[in-house]
Amino acid sequence: METVLTVPQGTFKIQRLPLRKNEKLRAWDAADEYLLQYLSENIDLSLSSKILVVNDSFGALAVALHVYKPIAISDSFLSQQATRGNLLANELSEDCVQLNSSLDWPIQKVDLVLIKVPKTLALLEDQLIRLQPLLTAETKVIAAGMVKAMSSSVWKLMERYLGATKPSLAQKKARLIFIHLNPQRVLPENPYPVYYQLENTDYRICNHANVFSRDSLDIGTRFLLQHLPKNSDARNIVDLGCGNGVVGLMLAQYHSAAHLYFIDESHMAVASAKENFYHAFAQRQADFCIADGLTDFESESIDLIVCNPPFHQQHTVSNQLALSMFKQSLRVLRKGGMLRVIGNRHLAYHIDLKNLYGNCSEIAANSKFVIWQVIKVA
Ligand SMILES: C[S@@+](CC[C@H](N)C(=O)[O-])C[C@H]1O[C@@H](n2cnc3c(N)ncnc32)[C@H](O)[C@@H]1O
């Protein structure tokens, strides 16, 4: 797959994460190219211009604009890691880009805001609200995305929180949205995070804007919660791809002496899981890791891993992240350790699991989901 991005700002090597052999997808899209071309032809920037980039996929925008030392906001650890890696791959210092998480916005005013439209509308809404203190009457705001990702709700949010919008012509199925800031705009309170009570428990569940199944318990997660291991002798337990952490929360309840690790690549997910755990178990300790799965874990260190794997990365549907988690789990489980996984029936995870672990049993199934269990035998 093509890894060299050529735009008016220069030629850059840009790769996705996780790195994969025979990668078929580029690390940028036509909207990134369109935006960079538009900036070079239409916007006067000086080296002191303050640029804020929101939701850069894998760093293409930040790397191409590195001479301006942009601030890049992302909820994705993988996206931030990719940006760091792509800076290095182009012999640029990491200091060329200031990477901030989606919960940690800078306070300085900016001249130009570039927003890649995210998959989750709630995240966009949260970002449009958090953005406000950085805007001046002169700040230019441009959103970019592939036409198919720009539903009417995206336009409505931009108009509600920022001002009138004007579309560009479409180019290679990408479009830009130019925003004319409304000086009279009124800022509503940020509706995020949102809360619900976990059914059949007293646990209050906090969900930041980008969290999976933010408004209510997902039906797959509900099925998984009905089939969790209980009172096993597991001492070290991982909730892998924890989202708001409800799976780890119930595992903690069923294993009062165990140590729990909550892992997600989304900053907002880990922040939600942390709040939920300490709200439920004020006296207990757990670990909360913003990471690419189990990358940082020692081999043979964990007794039990439970996972409801991701099935898309940003706008792309993929089972690669799930497969990578199954492989990581094989390394990290101690001998005799167990991985329990839920998947949509059509995803047929049992094929990869059986290949990797040499065993795979079905724990439960309904018309939509199957729960599989594998044991690390050697
Ligand atoms: C289907 S959701 C499951 C969330 C939660 N465990 C549940 O069952 O409700 C998958 C989660 O995996 C996370 N994820 C995606 N890629 C990841 C990665 N490379 N490392 C860790 N977590 C990841 C997503 O952010 C998301 O929260």
Shared domain check, 208 and 165: no
- For the cut 70, the answer to whether the pLDDT of residue 94 exceeds it is yes
**Residue percentage of the chain with pLDDT more than 70:** 99
Instruction: Read off the pLDDT of each residue in 101-109 and give the average, rounded to a whole number.
Output: 97
My answer on whether 135 and 67 are in the same domain is yes
User: Would you list the DSSP string of 204-273?
Assistant: EEEE-TTSTT-SS--HHHHHHHTT---S-S-SEEEEET-TT-HHHHHHHHH-TTPEEEEEESBHHHHHHH
Q: Could you tell me if 306 and 233 lie in one domain? A: yes
Full residue range of the structural domain in which residue 361 is found: 194-375
- Residues framing ligand 1 (Cβ under 6 A): 78, 212-213, 218, 221, 241-243, 246-247, 263-266, 269, 292-293, 308, 310, 321
Residue 189 maps to a domain: no
CATH code of residue 94:
3.40.50.150
Domain boundary among 129, 160, 181: 181
| Nearest Cα residue to 103 out of 287, 291, 271, 273 | 271
User: Quick one: 113 and 208 in the same domain?
Assistant: no
Whether residues 172 and 56 fall in one domain: yes
When pLDDT is averaged across residues 233-240 and rounded to a whole number, the result is 97
Count: domains in the chain: 2
pLDDT in tens, 41-78: 999 999 999 999 999 999 999 999 999 999 999 999 99
Q: Both 93 and 224 in a single domain?
A: no
Over residues 128-174, the pLDDT tens digits come to 999 999 999 999 999 999 999 999 999 999 999 999 999 999 999 99
Could you tell me if 173 and 198 lie in one domain?
A: no
Within a domain: 186: no
Ligand 1, atom 25: nearest CA belongs to which residue?
266
Which among 103, 109, 65, 110 is positioned nearest to 83, based on CA atoms? Answer: 65
Q: Which residues contact 204 (CB under 8 A, 6 or more apart)?
A: 195, 196, 197, 198, 276, 279
| pLDDT of the residue at 315 | 66
Residue whose CA lies nearest to ligand 1 atom number 27: 243
Nearest ligand 1 atom to the CA of 311 is 1
